[in-house]
Amino acid sequence: MNNPIGIFDSGLGGLTVLEDVQALLPHEDLIYIADSTFAPYGNKDSALIVQRACVLADFLLQTHHIKALVVACNTATAEAVHILRERLQIPVIGMEPAIKPAVALTQSGVVAVLATANTLQSDKFSKLLDSHQHQARIITQPCVGWVEAIERGERHSDCTKALVAKYVQPMLEEGVDTFVLGCTHYPLLEPVMRDLLGEQVHIITTGRAVAKRLQHQLAAQHVLNPQREDGKQSFWTSGDGKQVSRMASVLFQREMVFKPLPQQHETIIIEFELEKKQQLLFQALLQGEDGLAFVRCMHGVQQLWTTSSQIDALKDWLKCLPKSFNLCILQEYVWTGE
């Protein structure tokens, strides 16, 4: 009941959701993680996003004993929420682009959904789109560069304004009168969008609806925090604590101190060679090991991705592989971003 709520995103965008949660549930303690070393998620491998989501959820559970998890990231929700729900015994609340209210609001009959490429390409989003496609014309648009601009603390720069206009202007010309912000970073650009779009156009965000769903779930489980004083907040990041704190304070106009995540949550890469004919079987065996590692091929090199906390278990598993696998380890290092 007094336990905190965990919230995570690839970076600082999820703080827009944290603000909505704080406004609705001011007595709850909140723990936020910005997975800044891995931001943006919007163009990363699905397997990496799943692994990061599991690592961050494990940290929040094991270290902070959270009573609920908010995946304050549309991309991570699209890729990983079903896996988190299978693994965790607590309520897991995800984001979903608000297409339903948008098709109800539009008068021109043209709606735009702005989100990351990964969100728009996901199966989860395709299903959502299919269920509303007949009610309005729905244009989808990945907004390349928006997340990066926000992570640099640039909400109002000329460069950011130009980047916003690049995507939004052509949609106005297409007759869009309702914009759905399907990425938790994008509400930070709402003032710039508003300047371009004027007051008549609708801009729909999802944070408040997510906060309400969270409230509903906590109430149903009788675990709302009964304390009368304001909840405490703490902030963690896989990136550089000082830099992330500075950017968060610039973006949100209040002091937030981000602490670095403990080292066991680092991502370790093992590069290896394996004959082509053995690769599929190897991957199938690994998949049965529930999040121990995943295989990625980068620039023609086979890689195993895992975390510091799993590395010993992974090495033990590799040792137990049948002798017929001619797996040859080339090198091992900590991933520091692409």
Please identify every residue annotated as catalytic.
73, 183
Paired tokens of 243: 């830099």
State yes or no: residue 185 binds ligand DGL (CB under 6 A): yes
Which of 183/261 has CB closer to ligand DGL? Answer: 183
Rounded-to-integer distance, Cα 318 and Cα 129, Å: 42
Rounded-to-integer distance, Cα 51 and Cα 79, Å: 10
State yes or no: residue 119 binds ligand DGL (CB under 6 A): yes
User: Which of 51, 184, 245, 303 touches ligand DGL (CB under 6 A)?
Assistant: 184
The site string for ligand DGL over 45-84 (x = CB under 6 A, - otherwise) reads ----------------------------xxx---------
State yes or no: residue 235 binds ligand DGL (CB under 6 A): no
With CB under 6 A as the contact rule, which of the stretches 5-13, 250-258, 284-292, 317-325 interacts with ligand DGL?
5-13
Q: What is the CA radius of gyration of the chain?
A: 21
User: Which of 4, 5, 8, 13 touches ligand DGL (CB under 6 A)?
Assistant: 13
Q: How far is CA 59 from the centre of its chain?
A: 16
Q: Roughly what angle, to the nearest 10 degrees, separates helices 123-132 and 74-87?
A: 110
Rounded-to-integer distance, Cα 154 and Cα 37, Å: 18
CB-based closest residue to ligand DGL: 42
User: Which of 41, 59, 125, 282 touches ligand DGL (CB under 6 A)?
Assistant: 41
Residue 132 identity: H
* Secondary structure letter of residue 261 according to DSSP: P
CA distances to 9, 143, 190 from 80, rounded to whole Å, are 12, 21, 27
State yes or no: residue 207 binds ligand DGL (CB under 6 A): no
State yes or no: residue 10 binds ligand DGL (CB under 6 A): yes
Up-side HSE of residue 173: CA atoms within 13 Å toward CB?
6
State yes or no: residue 9 binds ligand DGL (CB under 6 A): yes
Which of 16/302 has CB closer to ligand DGL? Answer: 16
Rounded-to-integer distance, Cα 60 and Cα 54, Å: 10
State yes or no: residue 147 binds ligand DGL (CB under 6 A): yes
Residues that bind ligand DGL (CB under 6 A): 9-11, 13, 39-42, 73-75, 116, 119, 147, 183-185
